Amino acid sequence: MQRIGVLTSGGDCPGLNAAIRAIVRSAIALGWSVTGIRHGYEGLLRGEVVPLDAAAVSGIINRGGTMLHTARSSEFETSEGMKRAAAALDQLGLAGLLVLGGNGSLRGAWELSKLARTPIVGIPKSIDNDVGGTDCAIGFDTAVNTVLEAIDRIRDTATSHDRLFLVEVMGRKNGYLALAAGLAAGAEEVLVPEVPTDLDAVCRRLEEGKRRGKRSSIIVVAEGDDAGGAFAIAEAIAKRVSGYEIRVSVLGHQQRGGAPTAFDRLLASRLGAAAVNVLKGGQRGKMIGLIHDEVVVSDLERAWREMPRFRPELVTLASVLAS
Amino acid sequence: MQRIGVLTSGGDCPGLNAAIRAIVRSAIALGWSVTGIRHGYEGLLRGEVVPLDAAAVSGIINRGGTMLHTARSSEFETSEGMKRAAAALDQLGLAGLLVLGGNGSLRGAWELSKLARTPIVGIPKSIDNDVGGTDCAIGFDTAVNTVLEAIDRIRDTATSHDRLFLVEVMGRKNGYLALAAGLAAGAEEVLVPEVPTDLDAVCRRLEEGKRRGKRSSIIVVAEGDDAGGAFAIAEAIAKRVSGYEIRVSVLGHQQRGGAPTAFDRLLASRLGAAAVNVLKGGQRGKMIGLIHDEVVVSDLERAWREMPRFRPELVTLASVLAS
Amino acid sequence: MQRIGVLTSGGDCPGLNAAIRAIVRSAIALGWSVTGIRHGYEGLLRGEVVPLDAAAVSGIINRGGTMLHTARSSEFETSEGMKRAAAALDQLGLAGLLVLGGNGSLRGAWELSKLARTPIVGIPKSIDNDVGGTDCAIGFDTAVNTVLEAIDRIRDTATSHDRLFLVEVMGRKNGYLALAAGLAAGAEEVLVPEVPTDLDAVCRRLEEGKRRGKRSSIIVVAEGDDAGGAFAIAEAIAKRVSGYEIRVSVLGHQQRGGAPTAFDRLLASRLGAAAVNVLKGGQRGKMIGLIHDEVVVSDLERAWREMPRFRPELVTLASVLAS
Amino acid sequence: MQRIGVLTSGGDCPGLNAAIRAIVRSAIALGWSVTGIRHGYEGLLRGEVVPLDAAAVSGIINRGGTMLHTARSSEFETSEGMKRAAAALDQLGLAGLLVLGGNGSLRGAWELSKLARTPIVGIPKSIDNDVGGTDCAIGFDTAVNTVLEAIDRIRDTATSHDRLFLVEVMGRKNGYLALAAGLAAGAEEVLVPEVPTDLDAVCRRLEEGKRRGKRSSIIVVAEGDDAGGAFAIAEAIAKRVSGYEIRVSVLGHQQRGGAPTAFDRLLASRLGAAAVNVLKGGQRGKMIGLIHDEVVVSDLERAWREMPRFRPELVTLASVLAS
């Protein structure tokens, strides 16, 4: 009987538990057993392991967060720490390790994979959707819907008070989350790092909107937008456009939590089950993804070398449809 | 045939549309017609009126915000403006005016009532629940559930990362919303203006929790707490307690929006219908409330002279139950 | 150190876990320990006990169902079985037993209380709200919101297709759930056991609605309505009114599940904590309730001898407001 | 200035309003105007038209159903009616007609397209996802999540009572909805028309589950499963397996309603905007779809000649993961 390990690394997101469940149950179906490593790479270094049987993952498919917990590890980021982690991993005597992580954590998995004998396979998760090798990372769809629900609520009060709202959404380096939620919410503007933000043009459109009788507006801002965060942009707009009462809302950490959507549970279930199969096939240094509804195995490097396609034309579409 | 008016004043909240629907449909059942005044007292001063027939309030019972919009009016707050408003109101020739508002707006209604010939009746709404003469104001129950949902999500990520979260909730002068949501969310601490916040005691309990193995905690803070907002408290705690990774989340304006809960729709429907009846009975300067499930008519002063009972023992209960 | 027991009996509902959590944590705060009895009275007879410490009730406040499971027990309903249950209970050596149940289960608790030495205190739960001694039973508020959400969805399709929908809601002997959800949903008609259903009048109002241009309607039917269930009433209406495309939807068991609302979590937390205090005070054969926001201790008989007030005038109000 | 038309046909679903909004706003951006045709082909025959300007589609992106209403038309299904419809359409003098429909309605559009001079372009919508030429039809994602939420609730009560639940889901000819929702819900079995249902095998797995200590189970049944509906299957299982308390829940029409998810709003917005562009390009008899995140224009026949790929291996995966 083989034993494999699983850990979750980096920021948590909805769907991790569904993936852990799929890994455990798929492994058991092969006659294998599963060891959970708590607190990500930090826990690997500290030897925090816990056995995961079928009952341990019962009733978790619909729960946000990660039952294995996660943590940042500064030691793991040093070459010394990485070596220690490789040794610690090999000492566990696992037939393979599955790492649920974003592009940074999967890069860590790749480097670890070069030092350790234990085969490692990565599974992409990220509410920012910034992982290559898959159309969509686990957690993104739920986060989009969570943000959307918050903006729908803010829209109620924006309309009632004839206000201009700037809603800041997670996304330091990219605007997938802001774009998807903003377009779905019918936001007047979506400001993202991928498209240089022209505040003059934004203000011009706000003025035009006012002339057409628009009294309230929603601007969705990815936190890493080049024009600054929502507060800075609000100030800049206030200086240029009059007649709007402006409010700012920073959505914060609620974007990471909540019960996963159907899409995320399906994605996590399929990727988790497929990752076990990759280990079974004897592969290492790989990642698993879903591309056009097919499970695809890629080299781990793809996770951070290739981003999902960003569609700047949808930024424009958002403004057109909100006119 | 009589004609009555209705306006919404102050911050918007879920359930206002359900109340407007109830008012319009109840008036029509009496053979009356209804005039909506847009943008609260400001709209009254500007003469922004719109006829409301049965169809106009169709499909709004489940929608957040207020179809009549609302606004702050600085003019209305002057004695000159108040007189102008009274004159404007009387000129509309209404058999009565229904004002949906919080304690400030109902106080405005009371002063207006002393100057105008038109009878005025108030209906309490407030996500802070700070209106007397009723057990519960329209909008409170929905806001509690919205905050609760956000905290449930934050709990997922707090637990996964073993973090201490401070969640700031609306409530400048009182902590009803923070207390109800915090207790329902299983928060470890609820900090409210009504109870002097002893940060030393909070930190002591956090330390004890850590000793018992607690790794994550949620502290819900009403924005008007005497120890400061969530950011200030986070800083103060960081100086006294070590070993917790602290994060802050300010929930913001989403707390005002969203589809009303069943409770708020029922409350709004009953109060709206009852308020029309009060006008029919020829009363003026009154407010309507629901006290122990009975419709109760009170003098308007009750709205700001008497607050719903705050239960400090529930603040303690929250900590006990989270241990 | 004292040890107390807790069991859940009858149909499950949201909020039971929040109550169990409150009981366990309140008992621990008194220095007591808690034994959970699984599967209600059946489990009591079979000796299915499980220790409940603070960690056992962690993370359950927001979960539907009951972690202690529940079951019907035909043996318990016999006088022989009742005696056996009393003996089994006394043998557990508990300082008291808390029973979470509806009016039937609390009646069982009362009879058991007469035979057993162990003091018993009841806590009311029921999605039908048919328990005396409290304004509201645990689970009702969540069930109303669940039904409401389903009707909101059905309304979308009813309107789009210009259809008449009959929605059957739980409630064999009473119509609290149907009335609250129907009024909140803006249903055109609410048919409940408490008010004799006059199908001719219903059809007359449907005809009038059609003449006024109404193309779609929602009729909410409590399953125990005197005119029959939703299918029977649909047939009867189809014979009398033409021009409506009629559809039936029976909401079923989803009405029992889901995360509890803020109200139910608060209610369950307060009643659970208060019930522990009643045991501490040495009382027996009592039930706990919340009446006008005050915790009230009553004799257990009150649970089934007195129903919460039903307001037939709200049935009429629903039709008036939907016109 | 050009004028185009839009109609919604067949069963309603979430996302139709988002598509209508995208069509209207995109057309206006081109300097065109839009005519809405109410009640689908039936309304086309009856000449039920309504102008749609930018304001008419304001505030509808998040609303279920279709603001244009929909209807079945028996006349349209005759060759005589089809001719009349073509004449009626041409008489409207539109530069093009956009039809939002499932595979049947798009087939109707194709036949109409052969008789009418007016160019027609189809947009796929279906909660059953049974439309070719697109990876996903509008409405499917929301329906999956709605069903999932209902099953999550039913799971609470199934577990609490140790029951076996059969949940019947829409899908007369296919099991996309049942499969996606069942896998996401962690259902023990998913029974769909695409895979012959072996009740003996199902019962064998239920028995095995019982031996492993499983006390409750969820079986999701597509209404068109070859073994019958949920009630028939429940009866068949009851005869073969003992020791399970069996309950049936038919989810019904709520599956069609509700606010669209982010995915459906994005999909609808992109397809609506793209369809206007197809008309602008002078094409006719086409449909628009989203294939691997790219907008794809196909001949209308593709809508019913090619189904999205069904993955029977996911049916097996559901059972493996639920073990």
Quote the CA–CA distance of C254 and D151 in Å, as a whole number: 7
Helix (H) or strand (E) holding A152: helix A140-161
Residues 86-125 in B contacting C (C-alpha not used; CB under 8 Å): none
Q: Is C22 on the interface with B (CB under 8 A)?
A: yes
Chain D neighbours (≥3 Cβ pairs under 8 A) are A, C
**Contact residues, chain C, for D153 at CB < 8 Å:** 64, 146, 253-258
Q: Which amino acid is at C273?
A: A
Number of residues that this document lists for chain C? 323
The DSSP output letter for A192 is -
| Beta-sheet strand order (sheet of B49-52) | B49-52, B33-37, B3-8, B97-101, B120-124, B286-291, B294-299
Interface contact flag, B141 C262, Cβ < 8 Å: yes
Is B3 in a helix, a strand, or coil? strand
pLDDT at B235 over 90: yes
Query: A120 forms bridges with which residues in the sheet?
Result: A97
Q: In this structure, is the dihedral angle defined by the CA atoms of residues D182, D184, D189 and D195, taken in order, positive or negative? A: positive
pLDDT at C1 over 80: no
Residue B114 · residue B21 · CB < 8 Å: no
Q: In this structure, is the dihedral angle defined by the CA atoms of residues A87, A89, A95 and A101, taken in order, positive or negative? A: negative
**Contact residues, chain A, for B65 at CB < 8 Å:** 155-157, 159-160
Over the stretch A309-323, which tens digit does the pLDDT of each residue have?
999 999 999 999 998
**Contact residues, chain C, for B291 at CB < 8 Å:** 292
Quote the CA–CA distance of D138 and D18 in Å, as a whole number: 10
Quote the CA–CA distance of D192 and D226 in Å, as a whole number: 8
pLDDT at D215 over 90: no
Query: C148 forms bridges with which residues in the sheet?
Result: none
A–D CB contacts, 8 A cutoff, strictly below:
111
**Contact residues, chain A, for B158 at CB < 8 Å:** 253
Look at the block and give the residue holding tokens 């009879």: C111
Instruction: Collect all residues with Cβ–Cβ distance below 8 Å to D35 and sequence separation of at least 6.
Output: D3, D4, D5, D6, D49, D50, D51, D52, D92, D94
pLDDT of C160: 95
Over the stretch C123-174, which tens digit does the pLDDT of each residue have?
999 999 999 999 999 999 999 999 999 999 999 999 999 999 999 999 999 9
Instruction: Collect all residues with Cβ–Cβ distance below 8 Å to C181 and sequence separation of at least 6.
Output: B262, C144, C147, C148, C151, C169, C187, C220
Structure tokens at A164: 């201009």
Q: In this structure, is the dihedral angle defined by the CA atoms of residues D251, D253, D259 and D262, taken in order, positive or negative? A: positive
Q: Which chain C residue shows the shortest CA-CA distance from D245?
A: C71
Q: Is D224 on the interface with C (CB under 8 A)?
A: no
Among A279, A269, A273, CA closest to A26: A273
Instruction: Collect all residues with Cβ–Cβ distance below 8 Å to A189 and sequence separation of at least 6.
Output: A182, A202, A205, A217, A218, A219, A220, A318, A319, A322
Query: C217 forms bridges with which residues in the sheet?
Result: C164
pLDDT at A1 over 80: no
Nearest CB to A154 within list B69, B162, B257 = B257
Interface contact flag, C14 D156, Cβ < 8 Å: yes
pLDDT band at B214; cut points 50, 70, 90? confident
Is D168 in a helix, a strand, or coil? strand
pLDDT band at C243; cut points 50, 70, 90? confident
pLDDT of A323: 87
Query: D141 forms bridges with which residues in the sheet?
Result: none
Cα of B275 to nearest chain C Cα, Å: 14
**Contact residues, chain D, for C159 at CB < 8 Å:** 65, 69
Cα of C187 to nearest chain B Cα, Å: 11
pLDDT of A214: 87
Quote the CA–CA distance of D224 and D228 in Å, as a whole number: 7
Full DSSP string of C38-91: TTHHHHHHHT-EEEE-GGGGTT-TT--S-TT-----TTTTSHHHHHHHHHHHHH
pLDDT band at D51; cut points 50, 70, 90? very high
Per-chain mean pLDDT for chain B = 97
pLDDT of D214: 87
The pLDDT of B70-94, averaged and rounded, is: 96
Q: Which chain C residue shows the shortest CA-CA distance from B153?
A: C62
Quote the CA–CA distance of D260 and D266 in Å, as a whole number: 10
Q: Is D216 on the interface with C (CB under 8 A)?
A: no
pLDDT of B243: 84
Q: Which chain A residue shows the shortest CA-CA distance from B165?
A: A253
The pLDDT of B108-116, averaged and rounded, is: 97
The pLDDT of C16-41, averaged and rounded, is: 98
The pLDDT of C261-281, averaged and rounded, is: 98
pLDDT of B277: 97
Q: In this structure, is the dihedral angle defined by the CA atoms of residues D88, D92, D95 and D101, taken in order, positive or negative? A: negative
Instruction: Collect all residues with Cβ–Cβ distance below 8 Å to C258 and sequence separation of at least 6.
Output: C14, C64, C142, C146, D152, D153, D156
Quote the radius of gyration of chain D (alpha carbons, Å).
22
Over the stretch D95-137, which tens digit does the pLDDT of each residue have?
999 999 999 999 999 999 999 999 999 999 999 999 999 999 9
Cα of B165 to nearest chain A Cα, Å: 9
pLDDT at B212 over 90: no
Please identify which of the residues C12, C53, C90, C128 carries the catalytic annotation: C128
Residues 193-212 in B contacting A (C-alpha not used; CB under 8 Å): none
| Beta-sheet strand order (sheet of D33-37) | D49-52, D33-37, D3-8, D97-101, D120-124, D286-291, D294-299
pLDDT of D323: 86
Q: Which chain B residue shows the shortest CA-CA distance from A73?
A: B161
Per-chain mean pLDDT for chain C = 97
pLDDT at C72 over 90: no
**Contact residues, chain C, for B216 at CB < 8 Å:** none
Cα of A184 to nearest chain D Cα, Å: 5
**Contact residues, chain C, for B59 at CB < 8 Å:** 159
Over the stretch B300-319, which tens digit does the pLDDT of each residue have?
999 999 999 999 999 999 99
- Using a cut of 0.90, tell me whether the model's pTM lies above it: yes
Over the stretch C35-63, which tens digit does the pLDDT of each residue have?
999 999 999 999 999 999 999 999 999 99
Interface contact flag, A64 B162, Cβ < 8 Å: no
Structure tokens at B7: 């306006």
The DSSP output letter for B54 is G
Helix (H) or strand (E) holding A199: helix A199-211
Q: For chain C, what percent of residues have pLDDT higher than 70?
A: 100
pLDDT band at D243; cut points 50, 70, 90? confident
pLDDT at C215 over 80: yes
Quote the CA–CA distance of A22 and A28 in Å, as a whole number: 10
pLDDT of B1: 72
pLDDT band at B272; cut points 50, 70, 90? very high
Residues of D noted as catalytic: 128
**Contact residues, chain C, for B261 at CB < 8 Å:** 145, 148, 261
Q: For chain B, what percent of residues have pLDDT higher than 90?
A: 95
Instruction: Collect all residues with Cβ–Cβ distance below 8 Å to A31 and sequence separation of at least 6.
Output: A1, A2
pLDDT of D290: 98
Look at the block and give the residue holding tokens 């009640």: D39
Residue of C183, C321, C323 to mutate when probing chain B, most B C-beta within 10 A: C321
pLDDT of B292: 97
Interface contact flag, B257 A64, Cβ < 8 Å: no
Nearest CB to B65 within list A64, A156, A247 = A156
pLDDT of C131: 97
Interface contact flag, A159 B63, Cβ < 8 Å: no
Quote the CA–CA distance of C202 and C166 in Å, as a whole number: 12
Q: Is D252 on the interface with C (CB under 8 A)?
A: yes
Over the stretch A249-306, which tens digit does the pLDDT of each residue have?
999 999 999 999 999 999 999 999 999 999 999 999 999 999 999 999 999 999 999 9
pLDDT band at A213; cut points 50, 70, 90? confident
List domains and CATH numbers for chain D. 3-139+260-305 (3.40.50.450), 141-256 (3.40.50.460)
Quote the CA–CA distance of B142 and B180 in Å, as a whole number: 11
Over the stretch B158-210, which tens digit does the pLDDT of each residue have?
999 999 999 999 999 999 999 999 999 999 999 999 999 999 999 999 999 99
pLDDT of C40: 98
Phi-psi region of C297 (alpha: psi -120 to 50; beta: other; left: phi over 0): beta
Q: Which chain B residue shows the shortest CA-CA distance from C322?
A: B25
Look at the block and give the residue holding tokens 């309230």: A216
Q: Which amino acid is at D101?
A: G
Q: Is B63 on the interface with C (CB under 8 A)?
A: no
**Contact residues, chain C, for B293 at CB < 8 Å:** 135, 309, 311
Is D181 in a helix, a strand, or coil? helix
pLDDT at D1 over 80: no
Over the stretch A21-71, which tens digit does the pLDDT of each residue have?
999 999 999 999 999 999 999 999 999 999 999 999 999 999 999 999 999
Full DSSP string of C192-244: -TTS---HHHHHHHHHHHHHTT---EEEEEETT-TT--HHHHHHHHHHH--S-
Q: Is C47 on the interface with D (CB under 8 A)?
A: no
Query: C50 forms bridges with which residues in the sheet?
Result: C36
Secondary structure of C103-165 as H, E, C letters: HHHHHHHHHHHHHCCCCEEEEEECCCCCCCCCCCCECHHHHHHHHHHHHHHHHHHHHHHCEEE
Over the stretch D144-190, which tens digit does the pLDDT of each residue have?
999 999 999 999 999 999 999 999 999 999 999 999 999 999 999 99
Q: For chain D, what percent of residues have pLDDT higher than 90?
A: 95
Interface contact flag, C157 D256, Cβ < 8 Å: yes
Interface contact flag, C146 D153, Cβ < 8 Å: yes
Residues of B noted as catalytic: 128
**Contact residues, chain B, for A70 at CB < 8 Å:** 160-161
pLDDT at C101 over 90: yes
Cα of B186 to nearest chain A Cα, Å: 16
Chain C neighbours (≥3 Cβ pairs under 8 A) are B, D
Quote the CA–CA distance of A45 and D30 in Å, as a whole number: 60
Chain B neighbours (≥3 Cβ pairs under 8 A) are A, C
Residues 139-178 in D contacting C (C-alpha not used; CB under 8 Å): 146, 150, 152-162, 165
